Amino acid sequence: MKPTGLVEEWEVWQYAARLSEVTIVERVRVLNQLALESECNLLTIRALDIVRWYASHSGDWGDSTHATYHSYLSVFFKWLQLQEHRLDNPLLKVGSPKAPERVARPIADAAMLTILKSNMHHRTRVMILLAGLGGLRCSEIARFKGEHIDLERGRFLVAGKHKTVKYVPLHPILATTAETMPARGYWFPSNSSRPGQCVRGKSVSDMVATAIRRSGVEATAHQLRHWYGTTLLEDGADIRVVQELLRHASLISTQIYTKATDVRMHAAIRTLDPYRAVA
């Protein structure tokens, strides 16, 4: 079977397993990138070929990206063995890169203000507000519809990861913004290449990142979500409440935001008094 056919078969298998489109598209992209850049057949590619491919991107991949892409390859080569397309698994000789400790990287309050004050398309501004005041991921923003807004109850619906659906409270600014957007259908419909569908999450990420960069701030779209979670904690919200608002399945995921609460750490340091015994 040709490499292209292999990847297509794997793509179909993933859809049959009801994985999210975002996950499938990204996995397929990485596999095609490996085949193209290594100039190797995925049925015969060696561990050395994969290591050399990793090394060719050492300057533009962070540790997290490297670990993520390795996990994609791991799933793929295990699938090849399961389908009896290949007897060996070259990744067993490569070893697994250690994923870095996850930490929240919220933008500063002043940076958020700078972004919101800058000029940009209204559509992009709405995306930024959904991320910063709703805590939405880029893929969730892409799928947002007018029907998701429930002004009467002051809430909105989020179609999240793993096909989860959850209502969360609606920020007053988002409620006002909703009046400027379609009451029905996707807020961010795709162009003519995907009629009737929404834009992709990657497109949302790129549009927001471009607007942020033009404002003079160095940050990613996902850091707006980090600002949302961290600011809630710093302002005194209970961590279980923040877990629900961020829609984390595990409290462990929410705890990464507690590591970034500089306000609390500075406040704790200021309580240290070396002369308290005198008092």
pLDDT score of 25: 87
pLDDT score of 1: 44
Q: What confidence tier does 4 reach under pLDDT thresholds 50, 70, 90?
A: low
Q: What is the CATH number of the domain that holds 247?
A: 1.10.443.10
pLDDT at 63 over 70: yes
Residue 160 lies in a domain: yes
What span, in angstroms and rounded, lies between the C-alpha atoms of 128 and 190? Answer: 18
Residue 45 lies in a domain: yes
pLDDT score of 127: 97
Q: Phi/psi class of residue 20: alpha, beta or left (left: φ > 0; alpha: ψ in -120 to 50)?
A: beta
Per-residue pLDDT averaged across 120-145, rounded? 95
How does DSSP classify residue 236?
A: T
Nearest to 247 by CA among 161, 150, 156: 161
74 and 195 in one domain? no
Centroid of chain to Cα 134: 14
Residue 274 lies in a domain: no
Q: Is 200 a catalytic residue?
A: no
131 and 78 in one domain? no
Active-site residue among 137, 145, 171, 226?
A: 137
Per-residue pLDDT averaged across 231-246, rounded? 90
Residues 6+ apart with CB under 8 A from 7: 28, 31, 32, 35, 42
178 and 49 in one domain? no
115 and 78 in one domain? no
Amino acid identity, residue 1? Answer: M
Q: What is the CATH number of the domain that holds 31?
A: 1.10.150
Active-site residue among 66, 86, 105, 161?
A: 161
pLDDT score of 34: 94
> For residue 231, how many other CB atoms are within 10 A of its CB?
19
171 and 67 in one domain? no
What span, in angstroms and rounded, lies between the C-alpha atoms of 224 and 176? Answer: 20
pLDDT score of 253: 82
Average pLDDT, the chain: 88
Q: Is 222 a catalytic residue?
A: yes
**Number of domains the chain is built from:** 2
Q: Which domain holds residue 27?
A: 3-93
Q: Is 213 a catalytic residue?
A: no
252 and 114 in one domain? yes
Residue 217 lies in a domain: yes
Edge-to-edge strands, sheet with 165-169: 149-150, 155-159, 165-169
Q: Is 257 a catalytic residue?
A: yes
Per the document, the length of the chain is: 279
pLDDT at 254 over 90: no
Residue 278 lies in a domain: no
pLDDT tens for 85-96 read: 999 999 999 988
Q: Is 122 a catalytic residue?
A: no
Work out the burial of residue 71: count CB atoms within 10 Å of its CB; fewer than 13 is exposed, 13-18 middle, 19 or more buried: middle
Active-site residue among 125, 200, 225, 247?
A: 225
pLDDT at 268 over 80: no
What span, in angstroms and rounded, lies between the C-alpha atoms of 34 and 87? Answer: 20
pLDDT tens for 188-218 read: 998 866 677 899 888 999 999 999 999 999 9
| Final residue of a structural domain among 93, 124, 151 | 93
Residue 260 lies in a domain: yes
pLDDT score of 250: 82
Buried b (16+ CB within 10 A) or exposed e, 121-153: eeebbbbbbbbbbbbbbbbbbbbbbeebbeeee
What pTM does this model have?
Answer: 0.69
Dihedral pair phi/psi, residue 168, rounded to 5°: -135, 155
pLDDT at 2 over 60: no
Q: Is 137 a catalytic residue?
A: yes
Per-residue pLDDT averaged across 42-53, rounded? 94
